[in-house]
């Protein structure tokens, strides 16, 4: 039987996030017809809440158990995480006994991935205003921010008026304050979310009406906002190619 596909995401469950996941699921089914496709999430508390409501969602361990019970002995796993950080390391640490797992992803998994993402993202950024790219980041472990730092360096080479910052673990607050000053002086700014789905971080931390949201703190009248990564065709294509490679080695 064909090797099944397991897609793993963190698990934002806003309506926009669900649409993004459904859209990607449809593209994967179109790219790999006839294969079993399952989803799992790494946000344990979220999965527990949804399961309590009767929704059919699962953790990776539960997905593995289900696949084995149905007779599968191989699986290609695609991580929709953006960096090989704590969540991705947790994926790799899952007990795979009884299954041969071929891994694909995350988005910034290799230096070649970082260069490809920098080129694609950089080509979509406006050139007429200061640009801020906002990633999630890791608050406690600097090693989990290394790929984001490498991407920030490369984007800065492509776009001199760009700052890449992190919602958590940002180690350059003075750079953020300097950028805000330039944006206010220009009277315009573009913010691009380096997040796969439009969840709480987009709605509240970046675009919220509260005074501590990024938009409120910037206070710039001409404020433009980019699409999340899951809405960008080149990002979905990148993940599907990663999955194609994993299936070839499964």
Is the domain of 223 the same as that of 124? yes
The 3-state DSSP class for residue 129 equals coil
Domain identity same for 135 and 187: yes
Q: Which of 29, 30, 59, 54 is nearest to 42 (CA)?
A: 59
pLDDT of 12: 67
pLDDT tens for each residue of 115-139:
999 999 999 999 999 999 999 998 8
The domain containing residue 202 runs over which residues? 111-228
Same domain, 77 and 185: no
Residues 138 and 40 in one domain: no
**70 shares a domain with 28:** yes
Task: Count the domains in the chain.
Answer: 2
**Residues 199 and 212 reside in one and the same domain:** yes
**Residues 81, 88, 136, 201: which is the catalytic one?**
136
237 in the same domain as 192: no
C-alpha to C-alpha distances, 5 to 27, 63, 164, 180, nearest whole angstrom? 13, 11, 33, 43
What is the rounded distance in angstroms from the CA atom of residue 64 to the CA atom of residue 192? 35
CB 213 within 8 A of CB 27: no
Q: Is 136 in the active site?
A: yes
Spatial strand order in the sheet of 188-194: 162-166, 131-135, 188-194, 222-225
**Collapsing DSSP states into helix, strand and coil, what is residue 167?**
coil
Per-residue pLDDT of the chain (250 residues), as tens digits, is: 899 999 999 876 677 788 889 999 999 999 999 999 999 998 888 878 878 888 888 999 999 999 999 999 999 999 999 999 888 899 999 999 999 999 998 999 999 999 999 999 999 999 999 999 999 998 888 888 999 999 999 999 999 889 999 999 877 888 999 999 999 999 999 999 999 998 888 999 999 999 999 999 999 999 999 999 999 999 999 999 999 999 998 7
- Which residues have C-beta within 8 Å of that of residue 207, sequence separation ≥ 6? 213, 214, 215, 225
């Amino acid at each position: 039987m064909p090797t099944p596909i397991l897609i793993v995401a963190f698990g934002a469950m806003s309506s926009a996030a669900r649409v993004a996941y459904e859209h990607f699921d449809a593209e994967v089914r179109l790219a790999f017809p006839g294969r079993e496709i399952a989803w799992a999430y790494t946000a344990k508390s979220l999965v527990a809440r949804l399961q309590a409501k009767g929704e059919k969602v699962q953790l990776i361990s539960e997905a593995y158990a289900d696949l084995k019970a149905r007779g599968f002995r191989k699986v290609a796993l695609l991580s929709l995480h953006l960096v090989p950080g704590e969540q991705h390391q947790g994926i790799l640490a899952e007990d795979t006994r009884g299954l041969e797992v071929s891994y694909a992803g995350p988005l910034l998994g290799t230096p070649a991935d970082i260069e490809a993402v920098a080129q694609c993202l950089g080509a979509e950024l406006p050139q007429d205003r200061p640009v801020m790219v906002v990633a999630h980041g890791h608050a406690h472990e600097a090693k989990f921010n290394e790929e984001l730092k490498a991407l920030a360096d490369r984007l800065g080479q492509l776009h001199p008026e760009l700052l890449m910052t992190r919602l958590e673990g940002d180690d350059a607050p003075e750079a953020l304050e300097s950028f805000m000053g330039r944006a206010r002086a220009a009277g315009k700014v573009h913010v691009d979310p380096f997040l796969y789905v439009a969840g709480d971080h987009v709605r509240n931390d970046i675009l919220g009406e509260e005074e501590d949201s990024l938009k409120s703190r910037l206070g710039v009248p001409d404020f433009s906002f980019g699409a999340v990564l899951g809405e960008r065709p080149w990002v979905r294509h990148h993940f599907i190619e990663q999955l194609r490679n994993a299936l070839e080695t499964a």
